[in-house]
Structure 1
Amino acid sequence: MSLFESDKSAQRLPVSLITGFLGSGKTTLLNRLLRHDDMTDSAVIINEYGEVSFDHLLVERVDGEVAVLASGCICCTIRSDLEQTLRDLLVKRDRGEIPPFRRILVETTGLADPAPIVQLLLNNPLVSHFLRLDTIVTTVDAVNAPHQLDRQYEAVKQVALADRLLVTKRDLVEDVGALEQRLRQLNPGANIEAVDHGEIDPANLFGAGLIDPEKKRIDVARWLNEHAFTGPHAHAGHSHHDHHAPHDHHDHDASIISFMLAFDEPLDWMAVTHWLAHLRNARGADLLRVKGILNLQGEPAPIVIHGVHHVFHPPVALSGWPDNDRRSRIVFITRGISRADVLGLWQAVRAAA
């Protein structure tokens, strides 16, 4: 019998986070998304002082807090804190006070660090019991991003944590090749796509979770985006074959390191626990994102881990391996913690066991 909770992703509502620096196009993106037929059963949460305005789409308000949009979507603002807002939405839905919804979109302010919201979704039992993190989407302004990434660490972090990077205002820039290369260096595991005035197929935007609840299948390669770390386009400094941090003339960029560790033999869970605990305690502020699938000794099914900084989702057991690849694979996105540092700590933990 497994010591780990079985994965219940299919039973939990997906929550997607839409972030991006000031003026990068979050408002346009959200308004376009909510006009799609596939998005009519969505709830949108925005910051009270955020940039998004849906006034031209409002039909009615519920209790002065929740608005029903013309598209059928639910919209509300964060009045106190996000946890309470999420719980209130679920209660109103269950009471039939607002139309039902199947997904939640959370929009942040342009200067926000997305990490606290991700942490809330990963490991707050009052929220994570009902909701699951699906996708982190970051909009990137093709005109102003180079300047913002040079001077604002928040902009760098928004890029580094993303599953999807959307380059906006592409029509105003002759060549975005250098920007896209920079984005790939900051976050090789994210999909990058240019969007024209916020228009994108929602099917290509969301669904970055490990489990596809509708298709009932596990997609490890998609979740980890393994090709970014092992394929021919893996960038020097980011590939799991390279032990060195990337060299870059941007101070913010040079401190962000992405790599994947793969282990052929089944791992000892106690050793993994001590390893990750030491990383969180010693360098939690610099441990931007960790996600992986583990083959553990004595466990018949893979175990999934996912964390941001010092907060990790409780490890869960999947129903089975999706294919014949039984390797443990862990993707790290860090600030100033090299692959050699992480691997050296793992070897020290094993030696001490």
Structure 2
Amino acid sequence: MGLFETDRSAQRLPVSLITGFLGSGKTTLLNRLLRRDDMKDSAVIINEYGEVSLDHLLVERVDGEVAVLASGCICCTIRSDLEQTLRDLLVKRDRGEIPPFRRILVETTGLADPAPIVQLLLNNPLVSHFLRLDTIVTTVDAVNASHQLDRQYEAVKQVALADRLLITKRDLVDDVGLLELRLRQLNPGARIETVDHGEIDPAQLFGAGLIDPEKKRIDVARWLNEHAFAEPHAHAGHSHHDRHAHHDHDHHDHDASITSFMLAFDEPLDWMAVTHWLAHLRNARGADLLRVKGILNLHGEAAPVVIHGVHHVFHPPVALAAWPDSDRRSRIVFITRGISRSDVLELWRAVRAAA
């Protein structure tokens, strides 16, 4: 049909987002990462009002906003607009004004909702033509997380959108079992790690995008986080699991309605029906559509088509070169707030009936 652009993810620079609530260890993590030999070809963008300074690592100012760190990494601050900051970095690199870099790390402020940055990377042509979203990393303070998740929806949002959850300050608490349970219920697809003073192998942290950096190929199963869904062969239109966030009298309503589920369809889907379905979801409940990731088997398409969205904003659908394995089902992962699996399926059936 020729409706979809060809996937060129491997040609675009990966951008990873490091988020987490105030004092949860984002900058400590960055400091440790940027000292590693295998991270020397990185650019890091931090907020101008970062909680902890990276200044002790600075050795050379390139201009008013960009500096070269002792490790060889590039560091700059978001002084106005992230889109402009990203574009300026790429221009300076292409002109040879700063050392080359192969990845970008963006540290958000502790109170930031990460969704707008994800949306920028998904669907801003001035950025997404050159860059691709890789991993969303969220640091979680073992001491204060329960309190923060009870009272701050930003903290819940940071956890719900993450690909990697890093529990920090583990040495200050006796047990993190209940915290891990709550995190898994909020986001069953994210990998949870415990870190000591920001020490972690970057290979365990990054590479959550569609491209597997080690295997240098498409890895749909990993990208969809299918390890979080136990049933391997669901019937058409049925999810592997429907995970609702735990809620009891000690928890605030912030995470009570966060839900994660996957729909799998055995038969090829009609693209126009899928388009109308997702458009209805975005228009009616976009604010509660936290993240959608899927691979589709469509009528008339020999290869799968990938969709990825956050709230109202979706990346233009991308056609992969070929199916990565023998599984030809359409599979779509939803992370939502107050939208159940049955709500989504009911809308799908209504769209199909109206077609």
Structure 1 length as normaliser, TM-score? 0.95
Q: Name the residue aligned to 2:348.
A: 346
Check the 8 A contact 2:307/2:315 in 1, yes or no. Answer: yes
Check the 8 A contact 1:227/1:234 in 2, yes or no. Answer: no
Offset at residue 220 of structure 1 (A): 1.1
Offset at residue 253 of structure 1 (A): 1.7
Check the 8 A contact 2:121/2:131 in 1, yes or no. Answer: yes
- Deviation track 1:309-336 (CA, whole Å, cap 9, x = no partner) reads 0000000000111110000000000110
Check the 8 A contact 1:165/1:190 in 2, yes or no. Answer: yes
Cα 1:239/1:32, change in 2 over 3 Å? farther
Cα 1:179/1:235, change in 2 over 3 Å? farther
Cα 1:239/1:146, change in 2 over 3 Å? farther
Q: Aligned equivalents of 2:88 and 2:252: distance in 1?
A: 43
Offset at residue 254 of structure 1 (A): 1.2
Q: Aligned equivalents of 1:161 and 1:234: distance in 2?
A: 24
Q: Aligned equivalents of 1:194 and 1:156: distance in 2?
A: 18
Offset at residue 65 of structure 1 (A): 1.1
Check the 8 A contact 1:244/1:339 in 2, yes or no. Answer: no
Cα 1:242/1:9, change in 2 over 3 Å? closer
Cα 1:310/1:296, change in 2 over 3 Å? same
Q: Aligned equivalents of 1:324 and 1:300: distance in 2?
A: 13
Check the 8 A contact 1:230/1:239 in 2, yes or no. Answer: no
Offset at residue 241 of structure 1 (A): 4.2
Offset at residue 238 of structure 1 (A): 12
Q: Which runs of 4+ in 1 moved over 3 A?
A: 231-245, 247-250
Cα 1:156/1:236, change in 2 over 3 Å? farther
Q: Aligned equivalents of 1:78 and 1:38: distance in 2?
A: 25
Cα 1:321/1:240, change in 2 over 3 Å? same
Q: Name the residue aligned to 1:38.
A: 38
Moved more, 94-103 or 229-238: 229-238
Check the 8 A contact 1:188/1:238 in 2, yes or no. Answer: no
Cα 1:314/1:236, change in 2 over 3 Å? closer
Cα 1:236/1:293, change in 2 over 3 Å? closer
Check the 8 A contact 1:41/1:100 in 2, yes or no. Answer: yes
User: Number of residues paired by the alignment?
Assistant: 352
Q: Aligned equivalents of 2:327 and 2:203: distance in 1?
A: 27
Check the 8 A contact 1:166/1:195 in 2, yes or no. Answer: yes
Q: Aligned equivalents of 1:321 and 1:154: distance in 2?
A: 37
Note the aligned Cα RMSD (angstroms): 2.6
Gaps of 5+ in 1: none
Offset at residue 293 of structure 1 (A): 0.4
Cα 1:243/1:213, change in 2 over 3 Å? closer
Offset at residue 250 of structure 1 (A): 3.9
SS of the residue 2:352 aligns to? helix
Offset at residue 2 of structure 1 (A): 2.7
Alignment of structure 1 residues 311-326 onto 2, 5 Å: 311-326=313-328
Cα 1:121/1:248, change in 2 over 3 Å? farther
Cα 1:241/1:20, change in 2 over 3 Å? closer
- Deviation track 1:166-218 (CA, whole Å, cap 9, x = no partner) reads 00000111110000000000000100000000000000100001112563311
Offset at residue 229 of structure 1 (A): 1.9
Cα 1:227/1:212, change in 2 over 3 Å? closer
Cα 1:238/1:89, change in 2 over 3 Å? farther
Check the 8 A contact 2:232/2:240 in 1, yes or no. Answer: no
The share of aligned pairs that are identical, in percent, is 92
Cα 1:233/1:303, change in 2 over 3 Å? closer
Q: Aligned equivalents of 2:244 and 2:180: distance in 1?
A: 22
Structure 2 length as normaliser, TM-score? 0.95
Cα 1:189/1:116, change in 2 over 3 Å? same
Cα 1:57/1:276, change in 2 over 3 Å? same
- Deviation track 1:219-253 (CA, whole Å, cap 9, x = no partner) reads 111111112122599999996344978x9954122
Q: Name the residue aligned to 2:61.
A: 61
